Amino acid sequence: MGINQDVLLSLLCAFGNWYNSSGHADRCLSAEANVSDPFLRQVALFTREWLIFLPPQQARFMQVCPILGFLAVSVVVPVILAKILTRSQMRQETRYLLLANALLSDLLFVAMYMLSTCLNAAGVLMSEWACATVLFLLGVLYSSGILSTKAMVLDTSLAVLVPLRYFALWPVSRTKRVIVGIWALSVFFPAGSVGVFLWYHSTVPCSLHICSLPLLLVLSVSYSTPMQISMLLGVVGILFILLLVFSGYMLLHWRTRMAGVWRGESSSRAKGTFLIHYLHLFLSFCPILVLAIELLLYYHHGVLDLRANLWVSLVVCNVLLVLPKALAPYLYGLRYRDLRAALLSFYGLRRPSAITPVI
């Protein structure tokens, strides 16, 4: 495993050296040479040499985590999506359509973040427009996953609270329009933050060579006031959506308990379903809560240690953001019998049923 990691990192470094020697980074490097402010020089040096703040073993672990998350997602999600999209009966059920949209968002997010991590490990230098494009796509895909989770809670709430009017209130045609609306809202949400990012980098020398989301969070919390405000608004918005999701789960918990679902044979399945929902919601809350606490500590103390801030940002982005995306297909996909059977059949794990001959 260690040899494979060394070979991968060596190939990435070779690619980064070739890319940077092609002349794409000359403009940024020349801009940094003209910086006269000592603090700006320190920030520029930190953005270029930020990996020296981390021990080599821990740095490699942080770089490998998104790759492992992508491998975990890519093994399951394509099979689930193919099963849902090729079965007309599943395409006519709202829960499967919303689940497919959420898993597709998670797959694309983890793939895009893995690509960004590989480029950072290779030391590839990007312009602000290329970096803004990567950050915008990550924001769109993450927002789509959060909003899809909210839509899944709304779908379950309608099925439990108003079962007789469920098909009239939430038909398949309306579900498809909701999915289109989710992607439309997901495009608008990150646009403001990316706009602030471009505006900020148009007013200062080119200091962000490597397009790293953890590095951007460090600089946002420690230096840039406009990006702090943008980050705070984004955190508050995501927390608000997650709180709505939690409220929906609590309402469903109360109504199902009052209806007697928690008694009898269906009790174990109901408890398992809510346990999956709460676990995924808790994992989704963790990175946002850590970012909120980090912002509050900065406003309270004024200055944070760059090394500690970098560690927190790496854990949030490379572990806490990727973990719920990597576990979602296993938590939800394996919960449905049809999808679980498709996965077991695809990988040849289904046990053949014993047939007893009748004499």
What does the DSSP 8-state code read for residue 52?
Answer: G
Quote the CA–CA distance of 84 and 342 in Å, as a whole number: 10
Quote the CA–CA distance of 86 and 159 in Å, as a whole number: 25
What does the DSSP 8-state code read for residue 351?
Answer: P
CB count in 10 Å sphere of residue 266: 13
Nearest 5°: CA angle at 186, between 327 and 160? Answer: 60
Q: Which candidate, 278, 291, 342, 320, places its Cα nearest to that of 79?
A: 342
205 and 213 in contact (C-beta within 8 Å)?
no
Q: Is the pTM of this model over 0.75?
A: yes
227 and 219 in contact (C-beta within 8 Å)?
yes
Per-residue pLDDT of the chain (359 residues; tens, 9 = 90+): 444 545 444 544 444 444 444 444 444 444 444 545 554 555 555 555 566 667 777 777 888 889 999 999 999 999 999 999 999 888 889 989 999 999 999 999 999 999 988 887 777 777 778 888 888 999 899 999 988 988 888 888 888 788 888 888 888 889 999 999 999 999 887 887 777 777 766 555 444 556 778 877 777 666 666 667 777 777 888 888 888 888 888 887 787 777 766 665 555 666 777 778 788 888 888 888 888 787 777 766 655 667 777 788 888 889 999 999 999 999 887 888 888 888 888 887 765 454 544 44
Residue 135's pLDDT is what?
87
Q: What CA dihedral angle connects 338, 145, 61 and 291, to 10 degrees?
A: -140
Quote the CA–CA distance of 343 and 354 in Å, as a whole number: 20
How far is CA 172 from its chain centroid? 27
232 and 295 in contact (C-beta within 8 Å)?
yes
| Number of alpha carbons in the 13 Å side-chain half-sphere of residue 43 | 20
Quote the CA–CA distance of 275 and 316 in Å, as a whole number: 23
Residue 207's pLDDT is what?
47
